[in-house]
Amino acid sequence: MADVVRVVAADDPLRALFSPAGELTAEARSRLGMDAAALRELYRNMVLIRRADQEALNLQRQGELGLWGQFLGQEAIHVGAMAALRTTDWVFPSYREFGMAMVRGIDPADMLTLFRGLSHGPWDPRKYHFAPLAIPVATQVPHAVGFAMGCRLKHSDEVVLSTFGDGATSEGDWHEAMNFAGVFKAPVVFLCQNNGWAISVPLSKQTAGSIVERAQGYGFPGIRIDGNDVLGVYAAVRAAADRARQGEGPYLIEAVTYRMGAHTSSDDPTRYRTDNELQAWNAKDPIARYKTWLEQQGIIDAGTVAAIADAAETAAQAMRSRLTSMAVPPPGEAIFGRVYSNPPESFLLEREEFESSLEGS
Amino acid sequence: MEAVTMAKAINLSLRDALTRDDNILIFGEDVGALGGVFRITDGLQKAFGDERVFDTPLAESSIIGVAVGLALRGFRPVPEIQFDGFIYPAFEQIVSHVAKYRNRSGVPMPITIRVPFGGHIGAVEHHSESPEAYFAHTAGLKVVTPSTPGDAYALLQTAIDDPDPVIFFEPKARYYLKEEIDPAARVPIGKARVAQEGWGVSVIAYGPTVSIALQAAKTAATENISLEVIDLRSLSPLDMDTVMASVRKTHRAVVVHEAPVFCGFGAEVAARISHDAFDLLEAPVARLGGLNAPYPPARYEKLYLPDVDRILQAADAALAYG
């Protein structure tokens, strides 16, 4: 057994980038190869997605959305991970990856139609290389692995990002997919957003042992990092993706963060967690932290910060007005239109009967 | 072409598909070097390599989940689930994703899931089940089952070519039925066939019960009772035109499958006939199937499953009704 552990550890280029506590080392931070514009872009994206997240919650509170699941506090993971990938690399998200999708270029108003009850999947995954949000927990993980196996069979150098929460690692699909990835050496980066809570169940009641150490059991390395440091997330995903691209197989990153908001707008976290915990994590806010660092480095100033805040405000208002003025697609098409590529006659007949039943009503 | 077994016909059909399209992949438990526990994939890994035909870890949910990912990447996966009773771990992937992914995303899911099903093989528990109704109940899937070697070959070709997901149930007790097959023949999904013409009672069967219905028809003929046997071949979509053409002739119908009668697929067929032919029927539509109890130990399976006698009794009752 000891030999297996050593082999896995030797095959891990990420170890050198992080302290044992999962902090990106100063040396690694200075060698990220990002210029000032790229560093500012990370800040800008985090501010944009946080403002959109807040606006979506507002829309839900005003009755414009049926449900909203905030990702408040997890912006560093959303932005850092996406910056580390090529736009041709596919992402297989769970349901809280609105920020990632925004960074990938999917229109946020289109995305919100999902929570407005207008669509189950408002974008073409093939256009954005971004799979539909997966609502049943962990079921998207085998999809990511299958896709990655396919990349390998096609001898392409694409890699796949499979992201999920801490609760997902309890699901059978997660374990099965991790094992498949190890067996087939699939070019996939597993990114666990360990935000401490699966609805109301804390990690201590969810998971025996450690999430990241599970990777070794599946034959590949993993690392636990500070998920509130956008540059740390960037460096980790970048290195794991490079490794996968070179044919070295899967990697598990456990990014430790905190779900600052409720599970969704239907949830009441005061029933199961304390204010103290929230305050402690508030002090580690990923945007405030990164802003301080950028200021210290002389990369942003008050003018840039204000301009980015304005841009985020404008974008949030544009998202709101585009969403609330969107036409409701016709029911026949919405219900029947995309079920089959080659629809059976009986199915078409049912659609026809349904549509004529609506006429004159 | 010489006569082949259904097992061989399916093997040939897979072989021809693999030859025709490089994007077709076959995978599952023991389908590689072993050629599958029923040898359906015999020789395919040797002929097409271990990237096209490969063994997977023993994990049904991910066999199907991985198929979804491969389909997104442009492949046409043809995964095998080893036995009917082992499909349940994959139920979520099939129902929540294979069936609904296109509806959610617009991306087609050309996946054909092969599943040996049904009883009459003297097996231990979980190896003799008929789970077809679970899947026929799910929009987005097509569900088919052949009853002859020729249909097995042709229907599998159609299933693999279809841009939508198909669950392909193979009546494992009929794997060794032999007949000549015509590889050029085509069987569309959603078309039943008249397996035996008759005029007295329509016996509507599929998969493993078709040959039992044909035996019943033969026996009935000796008593001057004429049974028309309909082989549905496709459960979803369901070819009611062929069923109704038969019932318009006979005015009597018996539906027969191995799955339990309660909420079985026969309920759908019987309800549709009762609705569409209400004025024509001379007798209530009868349903025959397994008992509403878990599949029994093998020693009792002959008592549990519908047989020739039960079909004949149901036909007699339909003829004597009123």
Distance CA A90, CA A75 (A): 19
Q: What is the pLDDT of residue B322?
A: 79
Q: Which fold has domain B193-320?
A: Rossmann fold (3.40.50)
| Closest chain A residue to the Cα of B237, Cα to Cα | A344
Range B248-270 average pLDDT: 98
Q: What is the CA radius of gyration of chain B?
A: 19
Partners of residue B170 on adjacent β-strands: B116
Best to test chain B binding among A143, A162, A333 (most B CBs inside 10 Å): A143
User: Per residue in B299-314, pLDDT tens?
Assistant: 999 999 999 999 999 9
Q: Which helix (H) or strand (E) holds A229?
A: none
B275 touches chain A (CB under 8 A): no
The structure tokens listed for A129 are: 């290389």
Rounded-to-integer distance, Cα A288 and Cα A304, Å: 14
CA-to-CA distance for B149 and B132, rounded, in angstroms? 20
* B165-185 confidence digits (pLDDT tens): 999 999 999 999 999 999 999
Helix H or strand E segment including B229: strand B227-231
pLDDT value of position A359: 87
Lookup result for tokens 């899911």: B109
Average pLDDT over residues B42-55: 98
B224 — alpha (psi -120 to 50), left (phi > 0) or beta?
left
Within chain B, all domains assigned CATH 3.40.50.920 are found at: 193-320
A239/A220 Cα distance (integer angstroms): 14
Say how far apart CA A27 and CA A17 lie, in whole Å.
8
A340 counts as catalytic: no
Whether the Cβ atoms of residue A74 and residue A259 lie closer than 8 Å to each other:
yes
Q: What is the largest CA-CA distance in chain A?
A: 74
Residue A123 CA to residue A136 CA, distance in Å, equals 19
pLDDT tens-digit map of B106-125? 999 999 999 999 999 999 99
By Cβ distance, the residue of A177, A344, A346 closest to B62 is A177
Cβ of B59 within 8 Å of Cβ of A346? The answer is no
Question: What is the CATH T-level fold of the domain A2-328, as seen in this structure?
Answer: Rossmann fold (3.40.50)
Orientation angle between helical segments B265-276 and B240-250, nearest 10 degrees? 60
**How much is the ipTM here?**
0.96
Q: Is B91 exposed, middle or buried (0-12, 13-18, 19+ CB in 10 A)?
A: middle
pTM of the entire structure? 0.97
Report chain B residues whose CB lies below 8 A from the CB of A145: 62, 65-66, 69
Look at the domain B3-180 and name its fold: Rossmann fold (3.40.50)
CA-atom Rg of chain A in angstroms: 21
Contact across the interface for A139 and B100, Cβ inside 8 Å: no
Task: Give per-residue burial for A14-44: e unless 16+ CB within 10 Å, then b.
Answer: beebbeeebebeeebeeebebeeeebbebbb
Closest to B153 (Cα-Cα) out of B1, B21, B256:
B1
Strands of chain A, DSSP E = 90-92, 160-165, 188-194, 197-198, 201-202, 222-226, 251-256
Query: Who contacts B144 (Cβ-Cβ below 8 Å, separation ≥6)?
Result: B155, B159, B166, B167, B168, B169, B189, B233, B234, B235
**Tokens 């016709």 — which residue?**
A330
Structure tokens at A333: 């098409």
**Rounded distance between C-alpha atoms, residue A336 and residue A354, angstroms:** 10
Q: Can you tell me the distance from the alpha carbon of A151 to that of B73, in angstroms, rounded to the nearest whole number?
A: 7
Is residue A15 a contact partner of residue A251, using CB atoms and an 8 Å limit? no
Sign for the CA dihedral angle at B194, B196, B199, B205 comes to: negative
Asked if the Cβ–Cβ distance from B162 to A344 is below 8 Å, we say: no
Instruction: Provide the token pair at A70.
Output: 């905030």
Confidence band (pLDDT; 50, 70, 90) for B266? very high
Q: Which residues of B touch A95 (CB under 8 A)?
A: none
Q: How confident is the model at residue A8, as a pLDDT? A: 56
Is position A272 annotated as part of the catalytic site? Answer: yes
Identify the burial level of B223 via C-beta atoms within 10 angstroms of its C-beta, where 0-12 means exposed, 13-18 middle and 19 or more buried.
exposed
**Euclidean distance between CA atoms A210 and A207, whole angstroms:** 7
Any idea which residue has 């480095």 for tokens?
A297
Query: Is A329 in the B-facing interface, judged by CB distances under 8 Å?
Result: no
pLDDT digits (tens, 9 = 90+) for B186-239: 999 999 999 999 999 999 999 999 999 999 999 999 999 999 999 999 999 999
CB pairs under 8 A between A and B: 133
Are B93 and A173 an interchain contact pair (Cβ–Cβ within 8 Å)? Answer: yes
Domain ranges of chain A: 2-328, 334-361
- Residues near A146 by Cβ (< 8 Å), separated by ≥ 6? A180, B65, B66, B67, B68, B69, B70, B71, B72, B73
- Cα separation, A97 vs A99, whole angstroms: 5
Distances (CA, A) of B289 to A8, B194, B202: 55, 20, 16
What element of type H or E holds B289? strand B286-290
Q: What is the pLDDT of residue A10?
A: 64
Minimum Cα–Cα distance from A337: chain B residue: B103
The pLDDT tens digits along chain A (361 residues) read: 344 444 555 679 999 999 999 999 999 999 999 999 999 999 999 999 999 999 999 999 999 999 999 999 999 999 999 999 999 999 999 999 999 999 999 999 999 999 999 999 999 999 999 999 999 999 999 999 999 999 999 999 999 999 999 999 999 999 999 999 999 999 999 999 999 999 999 999 999 999 999 999 999 999 999 999 999 999 999 999 999 999 999 999 999 999 999 999 999 999 999 999 999 999 999 999 999 999 999 999 999 999 999 999 999 999 999 999 999 999 999 999 999 999 999 999 999 999 999 987 6
Other C-beta atoms closer than 10 Å to the C-beta of A88 total 10
Q: Which residue has the tokens 């050309």?
A: B110
Phi-psi region of A298 (alpha: psi -120 to 50; beta: other; left: phi over 0): left
Residue A274 CA, chain-centre distance (Å), reads: 26
With an 8 Å Cβ cutoff, are A172 and B68 in contact? Answer: no
Tokens found for residue B122? 């003297």
Which whole-number Å values give the CA distances from B189 to A338, A347, B245, in the listed order? 19, 13, 18
Provide the annotated active-site residues of B.
Answer: 127
pLDDT at residue A11 in the model: 77
Tokens 């929540």 found at = B96
Of B79, B105, B94, B61, the C-alpha closest to A138 is B61
Closest of A81, A33, A125, A58 to residue A286, by C-alpha? A81
Cβ–Cβ contact A139 with B under 8 A: yes
Residues in chain A within 8 Å Cβ distance of B103: 120, 338-339
Please tell me the distance from the alpha carbon of residue A25 to that of residue A36, in angstroms, as a whole number: 19
Distance, CA of A273 to CA of A257 (rounded, Å): 15
- Interchain proximity B107–A151, CB inside 8 Å: no
The token pair at A67 is: 């449900």
Neighbours of B141 (CB within 10 A): 25
Q: In whole angstroms, give the CA distance from residue A40 to residue A47.
A: 11
Say if the Cβ atoms of A124 and B105 lie within 8 Å.
Answer: yes
Q: What is the predicted pLDDT for the residue at B232?
A: 98
